[in-house]
Amino acid sequence: MKDLLKLLLPELSWIRGYGGDTLKHDAIAGFVSSLIMIPQAAALASLAGMPPQYGIYASIIPVVIAALWGSSRHALSGPNTAVALMLAAAIFPFANLGTTLYVSLIMSLTLLVGVIQVLMAGLKFGSLLKFVSPAVITAITNAVGILIIVSAGWGLLGVHNMVEWHFITKLNQLLHDIPLANPYTASVGIFTLLVGFTSRAFTRKLNLIIAMFAGIGFSWLLNYLLGSETTGIEVLGHLNVTALPFSVPNMKIEAVYVLQHLLLTGFAIAMVGALQATVIARALADRSGQLIDKNKELIGQGMSNIVGSFFLCFAGSSSFNRSMVHYQSGAKTPFAAIISAVLLFAFVYVGQAVISIMPVAVMSAVLIQVGWRLIDRREFRRIFHLRSEALIFYITFTVALMFGLVDAIFYGMVASLFVYLRGVINPNVTSTVEDQGAQHILQLRGHLFFATLTHLSSHVHKLRKSGGIPATLIVDLREVTYIDWAAIRLLRRIAQDWGTAGGKFVLRILENQHEKTLGIVHQLKKIGGEHQIA
């Protein structure tokens, strides 16, 4: 109970010793982070099938809550590309995109995701996340990057089409619709892309802002020269942003019915958010030297989704791009995230008119750039040479594109577990011969339990078959970290067989280690043979 209460309290240790120099660094980082969030907020909202102002909401209150309740001092939460795609794919079968029912169901699902994450933290699930290979997140991230680029293609072309969630079908539809593109809309989108990729060579922090204003300016110029009736360039329109948009999530009978069908999906979204948050927090901690509490990160994400669902904020997670820029801009404490959220609201509230005239093509171009950043070409080459990680990566990546992100998460987790168990049930056994073949040593490392005994038995069998029974067989357990009763019985049988055949059986063991953690010293007499206790 004390541990759970500690988890549920905000992490405020950073307040001690907070001074003017720290505030200066936090203020600069908060200012930069708020600027880069403006184009992404509206773009990620569209990715989730939501009106653009909901991206702004999701970039304010959840950011503050995650910063206060999480353990990382530098991670920046808010709308997340993978989570946004999963939300849209989950709710689309039950309601049309952007409708009142759709928005209310998104909020209900967000609440469910937050509750699942808090329960996961209460059950110490954070410590189990280390068993999920980072290759799963890498594969999901790269797949999401490709999905975003394809999904944003229609906005770039100025073509309206039915939403289809399977990658191959979406890609085919996009290629088929290229001849239907509005040339003026496409030119605005392509111009925005060119400015974005070019300006990135000079500033990685503000290139999206530069691209956004360049795209808006180019669109205005086309409309001025040719007329908006001729160009037909679609814009976002008026943003209805309010200060505190409090709204209780929909828990009516139809919402409960949908949530029952989406319980597994809710768990998958919670897992994606939790995994990304912990991986990003750990990556930043490696740079800053901070210690991360994975369960605290789960609480931070869970609380941000729970509280956010009451303020029209759809589910999110940490963002590697925003978090890295946040850290590199000098953020020292979570107060930088709070400054970022406050400034974002101020900029949007004052500059709603500018955002409302943003062409959809510009927003799509911003999304494509975000998606391109998520695709790590070097990772494809690096991971190809690591057999176990490559198996996990390509299974997760392929399933994500062919069947969806929810299935990819579970297949990735199963693949991670398979690789982990494969390593556990195949302990490292080193066989050496000494004293001119009269003494044979089997050095074991890892776990020795019921699932790994076949490995040991096969080595002993090959030894007997190849050269008979040597004078002495030494089984060295000093680097074995776990042993069970089935292993003790096997060792006893090997000792008896060796003794019956006229050989000498010796067991090497660390007294303190095995006496305290393995509880096997008192079983030595039952095993038989001689014992060398170090």
- Could you please report the per-residue DSSP string of 482-503? EE-HHHHHHHHHHHHHHHHTT-
Task: Report the pLDDT value the prediction gives residue 511, as an integer from 0 to 100.
Answer: 63
Determine the Cα–Cα distance for residues 265 and 284; give it in Å rounded to an integer: 28
Domain residue ranges in the chain: 24-235+247-418, 428-533
Is residue 76 within 8 Å of residue 332, measured between CB atoms? no
CATH topology of domain 428-533: Transcription Regulator spoIIAA (3.30.750)
Query: What per-residue confidence (pLDDT) applies to 302?
Result: 93
- What is the distance between the alpha carbons of residues 267 and 265, in angstroms, rounded to a whole number? 5
Q: At what angle do helices 100-122 and 253-261 cross, to 10 degrees?
A: 60
In the structure encoding, which two tokens stand for residue 49, read together?
């099938």
Burial code (b: 16+ CB inside 10 Å, e: under 16) for 458-488 equals: ebbeebbeeeebbebbbbbbeebeebbeebb
| Both tokens assigned to 285 | 């901690």
pTM of the predicted protein model = 0.71
Phi, psi of 77 (to 5 degrees): -95, -175
Q: How far is the C-alpha of 460 from the C-alpha of 444, rounded, in Å?
A: 12
Q: So what's the pLDDT on residue 517?
A: 44
Nearest to 87 by CA among 165, 4, 22, 25: 165
pLDDT of residue 296: 87
Q: For residue 183, what pLDDT is reported? A: 92
Full pLDDT tens readout for the chain, 534 residues: 556 566 667 877 888 878 888 888 888 888 888 877 877 788 888 888 888 889 989 999 999 999 999 888 888 898 988 899 889 889 988 888 878 899 999 999 999 999 999 998 888 776 666 667 778 878 877 887 888 788 888 888 888 765 555 778 788 888 888 888 899 999 999 999 999 889 888 877 678 788 888 998 999 999 989 988 888 888 877 677 776 788 888 888 888 888 888 898 899 899 888 888 887 887 677 667 787 888 888 899 999 999 999 999 999 998 876 787 788 778 889 999 999 999 988 888 777 777 778 888 888 888 788 788 878 777 777 777 676 778 888 888 888 888 877 778 788 888 887 877 766 666 667 777 766 666 788 888 777 777 677 777 887 777 777 665 557 888 888 777 777 777 778 888 888 887 777 778 887 777 665 444 445 545 555 565 555 554
